[in-house]
Amino acid sequence: MLAKIHITLKKDVLDPQGSVIANSLKSLGFEGVNDVRQGKYIEIKIDDDDKGAATKRLNEMCEKLLANLVIEDYSVEID
Amino acid sequence: MKSHVIVFPGSNCDRDIAVTIKNISDNTPEMVWHKETSIDTSDLIIVPGGFSYGDYLRCGAIASTSPIMKDIVKKANDGVPVIGICNGFQILIECSLLDGALMRNSSLSFICKDIFIKSKNTNSIFTKNTKIAKMPIAHNEGNYFVSSDQLKKIEDNDQIAFQYCDHNGNINDEANPNGSLKNIAGILNKKKNVLGMMPHPERAAEIILGCDDGKSIFKSFIN
């Protein structure tokens, strides 16, 4: 199965890259852009028949390596 | 004194720090490749600066899973002095020996320049000989962050090692090069035997380099 993982900075952590992207979008004329948060997207092909067990392992991967929980949140989605 | 410098793929300050330690202590550190699984008895373990694993995923994240790190964590917990400089600081944070996180500089630029730091903690083996010192920083991810709860714990336990300041020792926004919370340039673990710092004392340890203030960090280790 294919896991799709999104990692973003926590809401209370400033995201200067996001702010710069928002300013650039505004300067291109895109209206209504209020807040941009940028992050990482990781795809993992994982051998597991059980979706629940796979999710548990993927959460563990995020917590041990893929995300830094001091500043980042993650979400795991399995196709 | 017996010291060890850990070498990762992408380390680039390993030889500089080895020269510094040799010059001040007359002992040549042993260079330890990160694939090793243990270190002999050590008086000082140094995790040097550089770009371990090309900063893939997050600075220091991949190096923190290297085989040697298990023994470093064990030795650190046993009280062996460990210092992580720049990327070494990022690695020590990633393996949870130190609290917080090092984010991208608030300016979004790589910063390479001389700065001043001042000791906040004044009694650890690393900080007690340094008051105000000049040395360079050279990093893209040195913006120290920690949650407000954790910051309180760090402050209460006197774990802030160094803060960025001006040449007179004033700690203010102008003297903060990278957006670090509370101008934090270096922190200690709870037991004060582990130090992580973004500035490079090894690049300011000989007058020929323009300044030797950096030597003060290692003064406790000179025989």
Ranges of each domain in chain A: 2-78
Over residues A17-27, the pLDDT tens digits come to 899 999 999 99
CATH top class, domain A2-78: alpha beta
Query: Average pLDDT of each block of 10 consecutive residues along chain B (223 residues)?
Result: 96 96 92 96 97 95 96 98 98 97 95 97 94 96 96 97 97 97 98 98 94 92 71
| pTM of the predicted structure, to 2 decimals | 0.94
Interface of B with A in 2-41 (CB under 8 A): none
Phi, psi for A26 (deg, rounded to 5): -65, -40
Q: Which residue of A has its CA nearest to B103?
A: A71
pLDDT score at B10: 96
Instruction: Judge whether A70 is closer than 8 Å to chain B, CB to CB.
Output: yes
Look at chain B and report how many structural domains it folds into. 1
Over residues A46-67, the pLDDT tens digits come to 998 899 999 999 999 999 999 9
Check which CATH number belongs to the domain holding B88 and give it.
3.40.50.880
pLDDT score at B223: 56
- Secondary structure class of B196 (helix, strand, coil): strand
Chain B residues touching A65 at Cβ < 8 A: 57, 61, 65
**Which residues have a Cβ under 8 Å from the Cβ of B77 and sit 6 or more positions away?**
none
CB atoms within 10 A of CB B211: 17
Q: Which residue of A has its CA nearest to B64?
A: A65
CA–CA distance, B82 with B76 (Å, rounded to integer): 6
Over residues A31-42, the pLDDT tens digits come to 999 899 999 999
Nearest to A65 among B61, B107, B108 (CB): B61
Nearest to A71 among B106, B107, B145 (CB): B145
What is the domain range of residue B12?
3-221
**Which residues have a Cβ under 8 Å from the Cβ of B154 and sit 6 or more positions away?**
B99, B100, B146, B160, B187
